[in-house]
Structure 1
Amino acid sequence: MYRITLIPGDGIGPDITAATKTVLAATGVDIQWEEKLAGETALREYGELLPEDTLASIRKNKVALKGPLTTPVGTGFRSVNVALRKEFDLFANLRPARTYQGVKSRYDNVDLVVVRENTEDLYAGIEHMVGEDAAESIKIITRRGAERIVRFAFEYAVREGRKKVTVVHKANIMKCTDGLFLAVARKVAENYPQIEFEDRIVDNMCMQLVQKPELYDVLVMPNLYGDIISDLCAGLVGGLGMAPGANIGTDIAIFEPVHGSAPKYAGQNRVNPSAMILSAVMMLKYLGEKEAAARVEQALAEVISEGRVVTYDLGGSASTSEMAGAIVDKMSG
């Protein structure tokens, strides 16, 4: 039995969370959910965006599944998601991008994973004004931070049967920061001779991904490049509605769809639950429930490919819960 913290989230979060719970229940994996609040929902209920009760639940259970959160303007947090990553030192952001037949895309053979360092780089938020007419932001890359994210990428490649790791950087210009990241990556790669290793300059990487994404497998990079390139990769496979994600630390992991909370669709039971369900697939793999994960992903792929019981963005007219029901039917059929 797994006890897992569940954060339904804001906006469309409760709808896609309910659909995901339905699908996971059909796997037979024994999950006991501990439901907690965060984001705007928590602010209304408790007067704070990240209640200590929610943090304590994640700290205890070590695994959480969460819907999208809204960070209200003027609350002090840059982002609730960033605050969670900092609180639990979730240094690895994992973003798979895979094409599914039936999802509108210019490509039909993408299957890659972006591994983004989650705690350093310009995203550390160390910035200030220099007088009235200039602003400065400090880019932080540490040897420890670079080593653990690159090692995470190689270990992921080994575990998932992937063949190649590409490190993405701008070391030709930022010779100290990105130079350190690249040097550390090359050193770590020596310990994984079975995995092909290469490096790409970030601007060239963007062009390569648009021209020939099928050549790439696991990409590892500092925080800012990861934020940009992971969205680029989501665009290759049909958009954020098909983009799952995970934030993983040494002993705690939080799984979540990449898209936002889309408040205008809240409670309408009509949005695509795929990104949330695929995030749950990642969670099952993390827990070692690989067979259940494969069944869910295969059923989702079949439902989307058939195109009969899918949501409006996938060309259908089904509700969120109806699409979840069709996935369950595939699993039991």
Structure 2
Amino acid sequence: MRNCIRSAFRQNLQLRGAWSQNYLQRPGEGALKNVTLIPGVGIGPEITNSVRTVFEALHVPIKFDVLDNFNFENDDSKKQLRKNECILLGVMTEKNQKYTDNYKFYKYLDLYANITFAFSFEGITQRHHNTDIVVIRENTEGEYSGVEHEVYPGVVESIKVTTKQASLRIAEYAFEFAHLSGRKKVTAVHKANIMKLVDGLFLQACREVAQRYSFIKYEEMIIDNCCMQLVKNPTQFDVMVMPNLYGSIVQNVVAGITGGVGMAAGASIGKDHALFSQGCRHTGRDIAGKNVVNPSAMLVSSTLLLRHLGLPNFADQICRAVQHTIQDKNIKTKDIGGNATTDQFTSEVIKSLGR
């Protein structure tokens, strides 16, 4: 349980404190809190249903405003997005053009910091032990700026946008997160040896911020070497900060070495809104609707939501229940070496509440 607590469960107000020094004062635990819920597509409805079932069993004081048929191109849907500060998201992607590009969604809410937690979880067989990594990804620009065009038949350009303002903002978030979480090192991941201007600007911003946090070790690593080092020796990393595309890659690598997509919790943080979802944005269409998906990552992400809203007691109970289910009851879904269904896993988590 130690690694779980340090990686995600212990974060308490760190997520909230790092993204805004002026967050709203919230009522006590007894007050009902409204949260927007977007089940989405693929495995999204199943993993969010697991969270809802656990919340109901624990009588968590949250009311979900459910957007079942969310369509970003619909003005009504976009208005609903801004209604509540917090959003719980299953999986969102394009499906028959109904769901628009992810980058527009995150940019619309200015969810500039995407965080993925990857840690060794007792009870799951892994190649590496004592891994405890937080990947912080700039979430609004880079290769995912959405600026593409055909300059000549058969010749297409995709513009990578990097700004000093966004680079400073994500670097400041990473170092403040490390400071508030008691972490010792920040690694900036880049490809400035080739993309000297865009990634050079990102590194310049990271170096400026690093000077203000002299008590935190700072290092830089090229993305190629970073991926090799992660597979070879992931325990050398602590907090990692990087542009958008590299973050998408590294998030999946760290998830893979610590149990897979079903074990990596995540959040996307902005000044006015906070979104909680799995750390990796996989639709899982091949397993959707088969009652085999692992809801652990979504359950852990929901505890980050609870801590963010000032409900740590409920978060602690769910954390312990997930850990007990996997480690002591040995109830696991197929992706982590077991045969339990999604419903069976969720039921065991509920039975373990209050331990």
* TM-score higher than 0.5: yes
Bigger drift between 103-112 and 129-138 goes to 129-138
Q: Which residue of 2 aligns with 1:192?
A: 213
Q: Which residue of 1 aligns with 2:291?
A: 269
Deviation by residue 1:47-99 (Cα, 9 ceiling, x = unmatched): x455434332331211010111341245583x2x3222021111111111112
Alignment of 1:273-284 (within 5 A): 273-284=295-306
CA distance in structure 2 between the aligned counterparts of 1:242 and 1:320, rounded to whole angstroms: 14
Alignment of 1:289-328 (within 5 A): 289-306=311-328, 308-328=330-350
- Relative to structure 1, the CA distance from residue 50 to residue 305 in structure 2 (aligned partners, 3 Å threshold; closer, same or farther) is farther
Bigger drift between 277-286 and 262-271 goes to 262-271
CA distance in structure 2 between the aligned counterparts of 1:109 and 1:248, rounded to whole angstroms: 26
CA distance in structure 1 between the aligned counterparts of 2:348 and 2:89, rounded to whole angstroms: 22
TM-aligned CA deviation for residue 228 of structure 1: 0.8
Q: Which residue of 1 aligns with 2:148?
A: 127
CA distance in structure 2 between the aligned counterparts of 1:202 and 1:273, rounded to whole angstroms: 30
1:35 is aligned, of 53, 59, 66, to 66
State the SS of the aligned residue for 1:279: helix
- Relative to structure 1, the CA distance from residue 296 to residue 236 in structure 2 (aligned partners, 3 Å threshold; closer, same or farther) is same
Kept in 2: contact 1:304–1:314 (CA 8 A): no
Deviation by residue 1:21-65 (Cα, 9 ceiling, x = unmatched): 222345554111111124xxx4xxxxx455434332331211010
CA distance in structure 2 between the aligned counterparts of 1:105 and 1:52, rounded to whole angstroms: 45
TM-aligned CA deviation for residue 150 of structure 1: 0.7
- Relative to structure 1, the CA distance from residue 244 to residue 51 in structure 2 (aligned partners, 3 Å threshold; closer, same or farther) is farther
1:60 pairs with 2:83:
yes
Give the aligned length.
Answer: 323
1:181 pairs with 2:212:
no
Kept in 1: contact 2:54–2:346 (CA 8 A): yes
Kept in 2: contact 1:37–1:54 (CA 8 A): no
Q: Which residue of 1 aligns with 2:309?
A: 287
State the SS of the aligned residue for 1:60: coil
Q: Which residue of 1 aligns with 2:352?
A: 330
Q: Which residue of 1 aligns with 2:41?
A: 10
CA distance in structure 2 between the aligned counterparts of 1:217 and 1:207, rounded to whole angstroms: 16
CA distance in structure 2 between the aligned counterparts of 1:319 and 1:175, rounded to whole angstroms: 49
Q: How much identity, in percent, do the aligned residues show?
A: 42
- Relative to structure 1, the CA distance from residue 285 to residue 76 in structure 2 (aligned partners, 3 Å threshold; closer, same or farther) is closer
1:260 pairs with 2:282:
yes
State the SS of the aligned residue for 2:91: coil
Q: Which residue of 1 aligns with 2:9?
A: none
Q: Which residue of 1 aligns with 2:22?
A: none
Q: Which residue of 2 aligns with 1:213?
A: 234
TM-score by length of structure 1 reads 0.89
TM-aligned CA deviation for residue 278 of structure 1: 1.6
CA distance in structure 2 between the aligned counterparts of 1:306 and 1:267, rounded to whole angstroms: 28
Deviation by residue 1:302-324 (Cα, 9 ceiling, x = unmatched): 21123533223233333222212
Q: Which residue of 1 aligns with 2:168?
A: 147
TM-aligned CA deviation for residue 256 of structure 1: 1.3
Kept in 2: contact 1:169–1:221 (CA 8 A): yes
State the SS of the aligned residue for 2:83: helix
- Relative to structure 1, the CA distance from residue 102 to residue 259 in structure 2 (aligned partners, 3 Å threshold; closer, same or farther) is farther
Matched AA of 2:55: L
Consecutive unaligned residues in structure 2, runs of 5 or more: 1-31
Kept in 2: contact 1:96–1:243 (CA 8 A): yes
Q: Which residue of 1 aligns with 2:94?
A: 71
Kept in 1: contact 2:93–2:99 (CA 8 A): no
TM-aligned CA deviation for residue 224 of structure 1: 1.0
CA distance in structure 2 between the aligned counterparts of 1:76 and 1:68, rounded to whole angstroms: 11
- Relative to structure 1, the CA distance from residue 321 to residue 249 in structure 2 (aligned partners, 3 Å threshold; closer, same or farther) is same
